[in-house]
């Protein structure tokens, strides 16, 4: 029987396991997520958007951190029923968490869970009194030739960046399994490539950013991406990313995280593909998480584009590219690129030695 592609409309939440759950929750409070519900070994964290929760934090069964997977909101009950026909899919199960609803789970070729959600009770309030309102003024910026704010001042409070929603996540996979992984995701979900990065020496794609295909309806530049690794023998999470409202609240959150002693991975800067203003951090367990704002929207009429690999495809402004962003390792913090990679000559980037 031919399988039907599951139609999804948005991301729901990501699921990670942490060896020290309490410390993980301390970080995410400073990061801007709100604890909606707590169970003995789990915490459900939300933003101010309609999702009941956007991050499921769980106590690890061992002393290691684990990325379990991500969950998507399907368009109809029929899509949820169709998901049960996918190979090794679970039956439809009730969700034990805020908002209730139903879920079907499958695993991708690397064992990461891909879950499908339906029937959750969404939040109705989009402005949360539990979140610190950082902008206490009327919010109108003044530009060089357009002055909308006349008389009032702009004043801000210090605090975590209020998070709205889960925007995207991505995984890295061994080079040999890159195309098979792309094929699996594009066959199972209505994901469509937006932009790709390729190796100019071989013309092979090494990263692809995928949006949810909603036809004429505009959607985020990417909800999911896959990167190819020439050195890793196993798949791994790269990062998950959460939308904040604007640049001011993003920078205020950056300063707040620094003041609390957390470790910055890369940022603040602006990406080229997707155009987002980015700010990457290591959470308490060593996973990379991102605040982003001002990202692109695309639809079925947006042309697919390919860019050659190199720093110019990653960012237009911001700090020099750090090794920690590429490796995802805390021990690489402090080493930044002093010479970009030369893909044509097959020369890797040269990174400064870490200062003790």
Token pair listed for 33: 């997520």
- pLDDT classification of 327: cutoffs 50, 70, 90: confident
**What value does the mean pLDDT take over residues 198-210?**
95
User: In terms of residue numbers, what domain contains 29?
Assistant: 8-120+160-351
Q: Token match 């210090």: residue?
A: 158
Residue 291 has a pLDDT of 99
Does residue 237 form part of some domain?
A: yes
**What value does the mean pLDDT take over residues 83-90?**
97
Q: Which of 48, 46, 41 is nearest to 22 (CA)?
A: 41
**What value does the mean pLDDT take over residues 91-105?**
98
DSSP letter (8 states) at residue 142: B
Number of domains in the chain: 1
Average pLDDT along the chain: 92
Res 139 pLDDT > 80: no
Which of 38-47, 120-129, 212-221, 304-313 has the weakest average pLDDT? 120-129
Whether the full predicted model's pTM is greater than 0.85, yes or no, is yes
Token pair listed for 256: 């707040």
Does residue 130 form part of some domain?
A: no
Residue 132 has a pLDDT of 52
pLDDT 10s digits, 102-125: 999 999 999 999 999 999 999 987
- pLDDT classification of 134: cutoffs 50, 70, 90: confident
pLDDT 10s digits, 239-264: 999 999 999 999 999 999 999 999 99
Does residue 147 form part of some domain?
A: no
Distance in angstroms (rounded) separating the CA atoms of residues 267 and 330: 15
The length of the chain in residues reads: 356
- pLDDT classification of 356: cutoffs 50, 70, 90: very low
Res 128 pLDDT > 80: no
Distance in angstroms (rounded) separating the CA atoms of residues 210 and 189: 11
Res 83 pLDDT > 50: yes
Res 2 pLDDT > 70: no
- pLDDT classification of 310: cutoffs 50, 70, 90: confident
Return the higher-pLDDT residue of 219 and 323.
219
Q: Which of 292, 222, 284 is nearest to 253 (CA)?
A: 292
> Under 8 Å CB-to-CB from 130, ≥6 apart: which residues?
34
Supply φ then ψ for residue 69, to 5 degrees.
Answer: 160, -165
Q: Is 345 exposed, middle or buried (0-12, 13-18, 19+ CB in 10 A)?
A: exposed
DSSP letter (8 states) at residue 9: E
DSSP letter (8 states) at residue 73: E
Cβ proximity of 337 and 320 under 8 Å: yes
Residue 326 has a pLDDT of 85
Return the higher-pLDDT residue of 48 and 346.
48
The b-or-e profile of 117-141 (16+ CB within 10 A means b, else e) is: bbbbeebeeeeeeebbebbeeeeee
**What value does the mean pLDDT take over residues 151-179?**
94
pLDDT 10s digits, 26-38: 999 999 999 999 9
Does residue 184 form part of some domain?
A: yes
Which of 69-73, 95-99, 313-317, 346-350 has the weakest average pLDDT? 346-350
Res 43 pLDDT > 90: yes
Does residue 3 form part of some domain?
A: no
Does residue 93 form part of some domain?
A: yes
DSSP letter (8 states) at residue 346: T
Percent of the chain with pLDDT over 70: 91
Which of 40-44, 160-164, 271-275, 346-350 has the weakest average pLDDT? 346-350
Does residue 212 form part of some domain?
A: yes
Res 349 pLDDT > 70: no
Residue 182 has a pLDDT of 98
Distance in angstroms (rounded) separating the CA atoms of residues 99 and 55: 13
Does residue 25 form part of some domain?
A: yes
Can you give the CATH number for the domain in which 196 is found? 3.10.180.10
Which residues are registered as beta bridge partners of 271?
315
């Amino acid at each position: 029987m031919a399988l039907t592609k599951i139609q999804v409309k948005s991301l729901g939440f990501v699921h990670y396991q942490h060896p020290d759950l309490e410390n993980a929750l301390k970080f995410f409070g400073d990061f801007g997520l709100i604890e909606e519900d707590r169970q003995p070994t789990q915490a459900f964290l939300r933003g101010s958007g309609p999702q009941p929760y956007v991050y499921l934090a769980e106590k690890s069964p061992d002393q290691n951190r684990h990325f379990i997977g991500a969950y998507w909101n399907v368009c109809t009950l029929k899509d949820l029923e169709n998901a049960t026909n996918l190979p090794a899919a679970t039956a439809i199960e009730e969700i034990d968490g805020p908002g209730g609803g139903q879920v079907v789970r499958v695993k991708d070729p690397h064992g990461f869970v891909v879950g499908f959600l339906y029937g959750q009770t969404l939040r109705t309030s989009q402005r949360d009194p539990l979140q610190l309102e950082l902008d206490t003024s009327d919010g109108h910026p003044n530009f060089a030739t357009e002055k909308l704010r006349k008389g009032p001042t702009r004043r801000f409070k210090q605090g975590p960046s209020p998070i709205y929603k889960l925007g995207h996540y991505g995984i890295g996979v061994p080079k040999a399994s890159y195309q098979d992984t792309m094929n699996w995701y594009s066959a199972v979900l209505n994901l469509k490539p937006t932009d790709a990065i390729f190796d100019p020496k071989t013309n092979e794609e090494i990263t692809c950013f995928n949006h949810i295909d909603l036809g004429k309806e505009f959607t985020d530049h990417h909800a999911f991406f896959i990167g190819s690794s020439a050195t890793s023998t196993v798949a791994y999470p790269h990062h998950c990313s959460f939308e904040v409202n604007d640049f001011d609240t993003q920078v205020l959150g950056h300063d707040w995280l620094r003041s609390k002693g957390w470790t910055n991975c890369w940022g603040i800067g602006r990406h080229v593909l997707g155009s987002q203003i980015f700010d990457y951090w290591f959470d308490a367990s060593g996973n990379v998480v991102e605040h982003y704002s001002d990202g692109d929207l695309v639809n079925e009429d947006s042309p697919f584009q390919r860019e050659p690999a190199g720093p110019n495809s990653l960012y237009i402004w911001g700090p020099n590219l750090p090794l920690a962003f590429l490796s995802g390792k805390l021990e690489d913090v402090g080493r930044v690129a002093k010479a970009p990679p030369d893909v044509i000559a097959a020369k890797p980037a040269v990174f400064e030695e870490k200062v003790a």
